[in-house]
Amino acid sequence: MGATILITGATSGFGRAAARLFGRSGWRLLLAGRRTDRLLELAADLGGVTSVLTIPLDVRDRAAVFDRIERLPADWRDIDVLVNSAGLALGLEPADRADLEDWETMVDTNVKGLLYVTRAVLPGMRARNRGHVVNIGSIAGAWPYPGGNAYGATKAFVAHFSRNLRADLGGTAVRVTNIEPGLAETEFSLVRFHGDAERAAAVYQNTTPLSGEDIAAIIHWVVTRPAHVNVNSLEVMPVCQTWGPLAIHRAS
C-alpha cells in the first residue's frame, strides 16, 4: 500500500495540481473540496492510476471537518502527508473600504479552516510518530502591499503557526513546512475579484507567473526529502516578480 496524502482545496489551483502529480507518483489520494462535481471529475481522471477517496468538505465547517476525518475507512486513516491548500483572497480595497464579509471569509478559511483540519489529523501523526504537514502560505504573509490587509495577515498567521507547530512537535518525526508562493496564475485572482475575468487576467498580463504545477512540484520535492530533513519554509516567486522600494509619501 502506497503512502496516503490528504489535500484540501483539491478542486482548483495548487491543490488540484498537487493531486495530479502525487497521483501519477503512486500516492493514495484523499481529496477534499467544496465542489463535489470537480472532486468527482478529478477522481475519475486519477482513478486509473491510483486509489482515490473524495471528501466533499468546506473546511470552515468545524463539525464537518472532524466528522469526516473520524469516519474515514480504516484503511485510509493513516495519513502520511496533509497539504493545507484550501484558501483564498477576496478584494483588494484599502482597509477603510474593505468588505467585512470578505475579511471574515478569509479568516474562516485561511486561518480557522487550516486549524480545524490540522487539529483533526495531527493526533494520528503524533501517535504513529510520522507524517508531514504542508501549509500553503504566501509571500503576502511576509511582504505587505496595498489592499493585502486581511489576506496578508491570514498568511502571516499561517507562517507563524507553522513555526509554532514544529516547535510543539519537537522530539517527534513529524515534519512541518510552510510554502510561500508569489505571483501564480490559478483561479486566485478570479476569486479575489469576485468573478471579474477581465480584471483577473490583467494581473498576469505580460508576465510569466508561477503555475499550479510549479507549486505542486515544490510540494512533492519537500515531502520526498529524507526523513531527517525538515524544510521549515520555502518562499518562491517567478523571475518577473521582485521587491520594490519602500513607499515614501512626500507632502506637496
Q: What is the pLDDT of residues 33-51, one digit of tens each?
A: 999 999 999 999 997 888 9
Instruction: Provide the residue type at 98 as one letter.
Output: A
Place of cell 512541518: 176
d(CA 92, CA 212): 22
Q: Is residue 53 part of a domain?
A: yes
What is the domain-level CATH number for residue 89?
A: 3.40.50.720
Q: Is residue 250 part of a domain?
A: no
Q: Is residue 209 part of a domain?
A: yes
Q: How many CB atoms lie within 10 A of CB 201?
A: 13
The total number of structural domains in the chain stands at: 1
Answer yes or no: 151 catalytic.
yes
Q: Is residue 246 part of a domain?
A: no
Q: Is residue 194 part of a domain?
A: yes
Instruction: Give the angle 236-241-246 at the CA atoms, nearest 5°.
Output: 105
Q: How many CB atoms lie within 10 A of CB 71?
A: 9
What stretches of 61-117 adopt beta strand conformation (E)?
A: 81-84
Q: Which set of grid coordinates corresponds to residue 153? A: 495577515
Domain around 43? 4-236
Cβ-based neighbours of 171, under 8 Å, separated by 6 or more: none
Q: Is residue 252 part of a domain?
A: no
d(CA 198, CA 200): 5
Q: Are 90 and 194 in contact (CB under 8 A)?
A: yes
Per-residue pLDDT of the chain (252 residues; tens, 9 = 90+): 689 999 999 999 999 999 999 999 999 999 999 999 999 999 999 978 889 999 999 999 999 999 999 999 999 999 999 999 999 999 999 999 999 999 999 999 999 999 999 999 999 999 999 999 999 999 999 999 999 999 999 999 999 999 999 999 999 999 999 999 999 999 999 999 999 999 999 999 999 999 999 999 999 999 999 999 999 999 999 999 999 889 999 998
Q: Of residues 116, 145, 151, 204, which has the active-site annotation?
A: 151
Predicted confidence at residue 47, as pLDDT, reads 79
The sign of the CA dihedral 15, 17, 19, 25 is negative
d(CA 62, CA 64): 5
d(CA 24, CA 49): 6
Predicted confidence at residue 1, as pLDDT, reads 61
Predicted confidence at residue 50, as pLDDT, reads 87
Q: Is residue 244 part of a domain?
A: no
Q: Is residue 247 part of a domain?
A: no
